[in-house]
Amino acid sequence: MTDTTITSRRHPLVARCRDAADGHTDDVLLDGPHLVADAIDAGLALPVIVLAEGADTRPDIAAIVRRAEQQGRLVQRVTPAVFDAASPARTPAGILALATLAMRDVSHFAMTSQALLTVAVGIQDPGNVGMLIRSSEAAGATGLVATGGTAHPFGWKALRGAMGSSLRLPVARIADARDALRTLHAHGLRLVALAADGDVDLYQADLHGPLAVCAGAEGAGLPDDVRAMADLQIRIPMRPPVESLNVGVAASLVLFEVARQRRNRGSRESGVASE
C-alpha cells in the first residue's frame, strides 16, 4: 500500500476511474469487493486498487488488501470523499480496481465442435448484458459477441451485473450484427434466432452442434435482416396472456436447453459405446 492518502477529488486518479467507468479508456473499472477478488483470482493485471480509508475494517475487504499486497499489487488509499468521486456506484463499496481486460477475437472461441456463443444484438441495458454474460458462463457457453448497438460489455454496470463472469468468459465486440453473423456462419455455427413468433418451439428444437444463440433488444427484438440470416427461429412457449420475457431470462432458457440436450446426447452416446 502506498504511504500517502489521496485527499483531492481533482487528483488524476479520480478522472481515470470515471473515464474507465464510462468506457472511454482501455482500463475497465471493477467496483466492489466481489469483482476485485475475482480479478485477483483470475490473475488479471490491475494497474491500481483504490481503497477508501476505513473500508478495510470489513473482513472481506481486509482479506483482499492482504492478498493484493502479498502479490505486490498497488493499493492506493483515498479519503471517503475522494472514493465517492471515483466510484460511479450510488452506494460505493469502499474498494475498486482498474483492470486490463481485452476483447477477444471471435475466431479464438468459435472454432470448436462444441462452440456455443451468445450474440447480443442491440441490447442497450447494461444490466441485461451482464446477466447474459453470467448466464452464458453458467450454461457452458464458449463466449459472447456484443453487436448492433449493445451496451459495452465491460462498462461498470455490465461488469457488476455479470458478477465476475466477464473476467472468465471470452467476449468479443463486432459493430455490425450482419458482419458478426456472417463471421460465425463462416466458422460453421448454426444461427439460432430467439423470436416471440419463431417457427419452432424451443422444446421441440434440435439444438445440436456448434450454435450461436441470437438475442435482440428489449421490446423490439431482433431486426428483420438479422432474423433472415438465422438457420432456425425459435420461440419460448408461454401461458397466455404473457407474451414476452426479459431478454436475459429468455436467452438463459435457450442456453440451458442447449446444455440439457448436449448432456442427454452425451449420455446416450456413452451408453451406446459401453454396450
Q: Other CB atoms closer than 10 Å to residue 206's CB: what's the count?
A: 10
Q: Is pLDDT at 75 greater than 60 in this prediction?
A: yes
On whether both 13 and 89 belong to a single domain, the answer is yes
Question: Cβ(243)–Cβ(196) under 8 Å?
Answer: yes
Residues 142, 270, single domain; the answer is yes
At 273, is the pLDDT very low, low, confident or very high (cuts 50, 70, 90)?
Answer: low
Q: 270: exposed, middle or buried (C-beta count within 10 Å: 0-12, 13-18, 19+)?
A: exposed
Of all residues in the chain, the percent with pLDDT exceeding 90 is 83
> Residue 177: what pLDDT?
95
Give yes or no: residues 40 and 142 share one domain: no
Same-domain check for residues 85 and 152: no
At residue 110, the pLDDT reads 77
Q: Please indicate, yes or no, whether residues 242 and 145 belong to a single structural domain of this protein.
A: yes
Place of cell 453487436: 147
Total domains in the fold of the chain: 2
Provide the domain limits for residue 236. 107-274
pLDDT at 269: 61
Predicted confidence band of residue 2 (pLDDT cuts 50, 70, 90): confident
Q: Which residue, of 53, 80, 100, is where some domain finishes? A: 100
Using the predicted structure, report yes or no on whether residue 271 has a pLDDT greater than 80. Answer: no
What CATH number corresponds to the domain at position 31?
3.30.1330.30
pTM of the entire predicted model: 0.90
> Same structural domain for residues 151 and 67?
no
Residues 54 and 153 in one domain: no
CATH of the domain at 251: 3.40.1280.10
| Shared-domain flag, residues 34 and 77 | yes
- Domain boundary (100, 134, 163) is at 100
